Homo-oligomer: A and B are copies of this chain.
Amino acid sequence: MKLGAITIKDIAKALELSASTVSRALRDSHEIGAETKKRIQDYAAANNYRPNLAALSLRKGRSKSIGIVLSNVANNFFSQIIDGIESIANSKGYNVIITQSKDSAEREKMIINDLSARSIDGLIVSLAAETTDYSVFEELNNEGLPMVFIDRIAESIETHKVVADNFAGAYEAVRHLAGNGYKKIALIANNRNLSISKERIEGCVKAFDELGLEQSSDWVRFCAAGGSDRGEMENVVSALLSMENRPDAILTLSDTLSLKTLRMLKNKNTAIPDDIGLMGFSNFNNADLLEPALSVIYQPSFEMGSLAAKLLLSEIESKRPVTKFEKHILKTRIVTRKSSAASHL
């Protein structure tokens, strides 16, 4: 706490009133005389009184802050999500405590324990890539902590959920690629545990099936570390390029993977789209400035964040316990550019 901080007691003493009177006056209670109220409010303003949130929080059992757990802040998609969450939380007087799991299950668990001690009023979670055990979240949920999953969700846990339409986004991306003549489409996905990996792959498979495109399990690669392990990425891309039955396009199924794959392909002097087509999930706002301009599936990240925050706050502020939970699926947007242009193989 700050040194000079003035309390209700101080005001009460100075004005020769009781603490309760001061407290009521400061909250503009109607049961306080007009002039007394004014005297108190003026004194408080003049002396720069600020309520002590720790005390309030202890008293009321609510801290007016919410926690966010996600894999990494320094990421287009996630930072846009934060922006969305913040925009709502802030306008309703909530503070946002941000933490990063760095995709480590262990770190995620530590963070959650820590956050839950902080008497936060609610939690927004996007799971770490490594996580397979959801029990920490289940416990918190059972204890009654309002919680919303976003993007990388635990389907089995009963909470509000906000996701992009991963299935449709991936499905349409494949149809676009196929429409431009690509026939052997490889997928590079994030960790196979993640809901987003599964949903996106399913979308692709549906399109493959419908279009009668060749499929191979060798053309579906996972990056357990989500692209942050350079060696892993290197191996995946090299393997794909050197296959006997080589794919003619790559569809990358996460933000980080898309730019990393582009980098790998360029490093290897692979011509895009002539040698191989490329398209990916990406929320990089300047994908059109890349060489080649990158075709993307764009997720409404800001809206996802703000929606998640709205759901969470309404749950927090609801009088009766929420029992009916919603899963919101927001439309993705496909932008096709040179990297997936009609190939001339």
**Which residues of A are interface residues toward B (Cβ below 8 A)?**
1-5, 48, 50-55, 57-58, 61-63, 65, 72-76, 79-80, 82-83, 86, 90, 93, 95-100, 111, 113-119, 139-140, 142-145, 259, 262-263, 266, 286, 288-293
**Chain B nearest Cβ from A79, distance in angstroms:** 4
Asked whether A1 lies within 8 Å of B62 as measured between CB atoms, the reply is yes
Say whether chain A's binding surface is mostly helix, strand, loop, or mixed: mixed
Asked whether B50 lies within 8 Å of A58 as measured between CB atoms, the reply is no
Asked whether B62 lies within 8 Å of A58 as measured between CB atoms, the reply is no
Q: How many copies does the complex hold?
A: 2
- 3 closest Cβ pairs, A-B complex: A291-B291, A54-B57, A3-B144
Asked whether B95 lies within 8 Å of A95 as measured between CB atoms, the reply is no
Q: List 5 A-B contacts (CB under 8 A).
A: A2-B145, A54-B58, A79-B79, A98-B98, A262-B286
- Residues in B with CB closer than 8 Å to A80 are 74
- Residues in B with CB closer than 8 Å to A266 are 289
Give the CA-CA distance A291 to B140 in the complex, in Å.
Answer: 48
Give the CA-CA distance A286 to B75 in the complex, in Å.
Answer: 12
Asked whether A61 lies within 8 Å of B98 as measured between CB atoms, the reply is no
Asked whether A117 lies within 8 Å of B83 as measured between CB atoms, the reply is no
Tell me which of B58, B74, B113, B291 contacts A290 (CB under 8 A).
Answer: B291
Asked whether B144 lies within 8 Å of A2 as measured between CB atoms, the reply is yes
A145's closest neighbor in chain B, by CB? B2
Tell me which of B82, B111, B117 contacts A52 (CB under 8 A).
Answer: B117
Which of A4, A95, A96, A140: most chain B CB closer than 10 A? A95
A116's closest neighbor in chain B, by CB? B50
A54-B63, A95-B114, A289-B291 known; 12 new pairs, CB 8 Å cut-off, are: A2-B144, A4-B143, A53-B117, A74-B76, A74-B80, A86-B99, A93-B114, A95-B118, A98-B98, A262-B289, A263-B289, A291-B293
- Residues in B with CB closer than 8 Å to A140 are 2
Tell me which of B5, B65, B86, B119 contacts A1 (CB under 8 A).
Answer: B119
Asked whether A289 lies within 8 Å of B1 as measured between CB atoms, the reply is no
Tell me which of B50, B111, B116 contacts A113 (CB under 8 A).
Answer: B50
Tell me which of B73, B118, B143 contacts A86 (CB under 8 A).
Answer: B73
A5's closest neighbor in chain B, by CB? B143
Which of A5, A52, A73: most chain B CB closer than 10 A? A73
**Chain B nearest Cβ from A7, distance in angstroms:** 11
Give the CA-CA distance A76 to B293 in the complex, in Å.
Answer: 20
A93's closest neighbor in chain B, by CB? B114
- Residues in B with CB closer than 8 Å to A86 are 73, 98-100
- Residues in B with CB closer than 8 Å to A111 are 90
Asked whether A90 lies within 8 Å of B99 as measured between CB atoms, the reply is yes
- Residues in B with CB closer than 8 Å to A76 are 74
A110's closest neighbor in chain B, by CB? B90
A4's closest neighbor in chain B, by CB? B143
A78's closest neighbor in chain B, by CB? B79
Give the CA-CA distance A262 to B288 in the complex, in Å.
Answer: 11
Which of A58, A100, A140, A259: most chain B CB closer than 10 A? A58
Give the CA-CA distance A82 to B96 in the complex, in Å.
Answer: 14
Asked whether A58 lies within 8 Å of B61 as measured between CB atoms, the reply is no
- Residues in B with CB closer than 8 Å to A259 are 286, 289
Asked whether A4 lies within 8 Å of B52 as measured between CB atoms, the reply is no
